[in-house]
Amino acid sequence: MMTPVRSRWSRCLGRLATGWSRTLCPPCGFADDIVVGFQVNICGKKRSHGRFTVLRHTIRKRMQAKLQEVKAELRRRMHQSIREQGAWLRSGVGGHVRYYGVPTNTTALCTFRWQVGRLWLRTLRRRSQRHRLPWARMQRLIDRWLPAPRVCHPYPLRRFGVIS
């Protein structure tokens, strides 16, 4: 006997999944499934071969909460040097990238990095009454201090597909 949750998942896996997802959306009919910080209720296709896959994206509420924490901490560290702030931000953004760096989540990682850079720009501009920090210079600081988003965890089949 299958539980209702498993029967919902079984509808959304296999070759008929994209057809089911079109008839059951919003997304795929099971909008409340969350796995460790990722919203996994999104049906999609892989770009490599066009077959069905379950997409994983960062939960919006988690990203916004983390950005609020970064904003408060930047406000507290406002008068530290750019080098100290950049080193602190590098460790924070790097940890975020390593945790949420899964396939199909690159857009959320780019958004997080861009938002942290924007918050950092606003904090640096508040250090004096006249801001002398144009966006072009801030781009150089972002490229220097904030790590670029990348996929750290491969697909599970590639990760656990051991041939012995």
pLDDT tens digits, 134-154: 999 999 999 999 999 999 988
Whether residue 116 contacts residue 89, with contact meaning beta carbons closer than 8 Å, is answered with yes
Residues 34 and 84 in one domain: no
Estimate to the nearest angstrom the gap between the alpha carbon of 28 and the chain centroid. 21
Residues 70 and 125 in one domain: yes
Q: How far apart are CA 125 and CA 52, in angstroms?
A: 46
Q: Is residue 112, in this structure, part of any structural domain at all?
A: yes
Residues 43 and 121 in one domain: no
Residues 79 and 126 in one domain: yes
- The stretches of 49-134 forming alpha helices (DSSP H) are 60-76, 82-100, 106-125
Whether residue 84 contacts residue 132, with contact meaning beta carbons closer than 8 Å, is answered with no
* Whole-structure pTM value: 0.75
| Containing structural domain, residue 75 | 60-151
Q: How far, in Å, are 11, 152, 153 from residue 163 at the CA level? A: 29, 22, 19
Residues 29-88 have pLDDT tens digits of 444 455 666 766 677 777 777 777 777 888 889 999 999 999 999 999 999 999 999 999
Q: How far, in Å, are 41, 50, 81, 99, 129 from residue 53 at the CA level? A: 11, 9, 45, 20, 51
Q: Is residue 161, in this structure, part of any structural domain at all?
A: no
